[in-house]
């Protein structure tokens, strides 16, 4: 898949002059409204994965099939998921450490892809419903599912990296938001509170309790800081399938009544905004951005419900967010 975009000239027109893109519209009615926004670049072809690496069923066709996978995982599946979680956590940390201004998200994808291969794992996103890359790179106002492309990262960007590793027949899913260069205080605070929101949700995981407790905890913390909680994208069951049928809302809804049971595995991945929670989608059918163009951040862990609480399968030593900030 190739996606192209015209780039603006070095000297931009005045507001009432014709737009540089040739649309015939005034600049203020056309591209001026996009200044400072993340714009799409060129997307290169999919990368290959060595044949000796185990692949999920959709790897060659892009067609995702669903089956009735148990919500309660066996001890054997849990141990495989624990390993997949550690692999994903390491790849996320190393990829995040590589970010720098001027580096394109295409280069980020190439580096991350190699990290998967070196660990004998398959990038779960690659060809999932046709998704063309090995991770998601979501900058600034991009909420999620940003596709790595030719856009260079800018000094001051915040960048969410979403990594999922398929190894041992199961998936481990995690993400975090990183600083690129010198980031402004408001954005730093957004990222800090977003990480806290994720941990508030994780700490709400208790067997016998409704799963809505997670969303309640996240939403209460975000509202305390006058931040928005994206509603369109939710946490999900995970295991042998990338996305299982458990839905984890990041806001409170009394209808979200599923009872958490020991052995359940799912993701908690709140997307928190400086402004409105509503989103818009790009024409690529993947990239979601905030409707008002304000910045957003996200953190994610894969968790296991235990007999007395929760075990974070993508956390611990070596993870980007190893434990709750107030417990470190």
Measured between alpha carbons, how far is 214 from 193 in angstroms, rounded to an integer? 16
Task: Return the bridge partners of 303, or none.
Answer: 266, 312
User: Rounded to an integer, what distance in angstroms lies between the CA atom of residue 180 and that of residue 137?
Assistant: 12
Q: What is the pLDDT of residues 61-111, one digit of tens each?
A: 999 999 999 999 999 999 999 999 999 999 999 999 999 999 999 999 999
Question: Which residue from 17, 16, 21 is spatially nearest to 4, judged by alpha carbons?
Answer: 21
The chain-wide mean pLDDT, for the chain, equals 93
CA 300 to chain centre: 7
Tell me the angle at which helices 105-118 and 75-97 cross, rounded to the nearest 10 degrees. 140
Instruction: Return the H-helix or E-strand segment holding 218.
Output: helix 212-224
C-alpha dist (Å) from residue 205 to 100, 212, 242, 261: 36, 10, 21, 10
What would the 3-class secondary structure string for 257-279 be?
CCECCCCEEEEECCEEECCCCCE
Instruction: Please check whether residue 303 is in contact with residue 312, taking contact to mean a CB–CB distance below 8 angstroms.
Output: yes
Instruction: Identify the bridge partners of residue 288 per DSSP, sorted by sequence position.
Output: 144, 281
Pick the CATH number of 75-327 from 3.40.140.10, 3.40.50.300, 3.90.230.10, 3.10.180.10: 3.90.230.10
Find residue 142's DSSP bridge partners.
289
Q: Compute the distance between CA of residue 99 and CA of residue 85 in angstroms, rounded to an integer.
A: 22
Q: What is the pLDDT along the chain (328 residues), one digit of tens a residue?
A: 334 445 556 455 776 778 766 777 775 556 544 556 899 999 999 999 999 999 999 999 999 999 999 999 999 999 999 999 999 999 999 999 999 999 999 999 999 999 999 999 999 999 999 999 999 999 999 999 999 999 999 999 999 999 999 999 999 999 999 999 999 999 999 999 999 999 999 999 999 999 999 999 999 999 999 999 999 999 999 999 999 999 999 999 999 999 999 999 999 999 999 999 999 999 999 999 999 999 999 999 999 999 999 999 999 999 999 999 988 8
Residue pair 202/313 in contact (Cβ under 8 Å)? The answer is no
pLDDT in tens, 174-201: 999 999 999 999 999 999 999 999 999 9
Report domain extents, the chain. Answer: 75-327
Asked whether the beta carbons of 50 and 117 are under 8 A apart, the reply is yes
């Amino acid at each position: 898949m190739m996606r192209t975009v015209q780039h603006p000239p070095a000297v931009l027109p005045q507001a009432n002059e014709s737009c540089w893109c040739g649309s015939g519209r005034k600049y203020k009615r056309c591209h001026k409204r996009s200044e400072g926004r993340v714009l799409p670049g060129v997307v290169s072809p999919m990368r290959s994965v060595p044949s000796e690496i185990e692949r999920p069923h959709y790897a060659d066709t892009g067609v995702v099939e669903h089956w009735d996978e148990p919500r309660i995982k066996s001890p054997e599946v849990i141990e495989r998921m624990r390993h997949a979680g550690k692999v994903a956590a390491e790849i996320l940390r190393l990829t995040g450490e590589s970010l720098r201004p001027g580096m394109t998200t295409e280069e980020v994808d190439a580096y991350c892809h190699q990290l998967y291969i070196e660990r004998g794992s398959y990038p779960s996103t690659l060809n999932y419903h046709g998704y063309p890359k090995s991770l998601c790179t979501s900058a600034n106002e991009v909420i999620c599912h940003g596709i790595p492309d030719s856009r260079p990262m800018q000094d001051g960007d915040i960048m969410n990296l979403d990594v999922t590793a398929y190894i041992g027949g199961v998936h481990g899913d995690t993400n975090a938001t990183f600083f690129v260069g010198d980031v402004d205080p408001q954005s730093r605070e957004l990222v800090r509170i977003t990480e806290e929101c994720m941990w508030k949700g994780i700490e709400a995981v208790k067997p016998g309790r409704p799963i809505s407790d997670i969303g309640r905890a996240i939403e209460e913390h975000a509202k305390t800081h006058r931040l928005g909680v994206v509603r369109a994208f939710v946490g999900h069951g995970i295991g042998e399938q990338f996305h299982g049928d458990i839905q984890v809302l990041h806001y409170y809804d009394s209808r979200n009544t599923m009872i958490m049971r020991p052995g359940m595995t799912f993701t908690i991945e709140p997307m928190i905004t400086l402004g409105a929670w509503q989103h818009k989608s790009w024409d690529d059918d993947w990239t979601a951005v905030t409707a008002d163009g304000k910045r957003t951040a996200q953190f994610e862990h894969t968790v296991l419900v235990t007999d007395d609480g929760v075990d974070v399968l993508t956390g611990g030593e070596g993870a980007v967010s190893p434990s709750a900030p107030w417990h470190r």
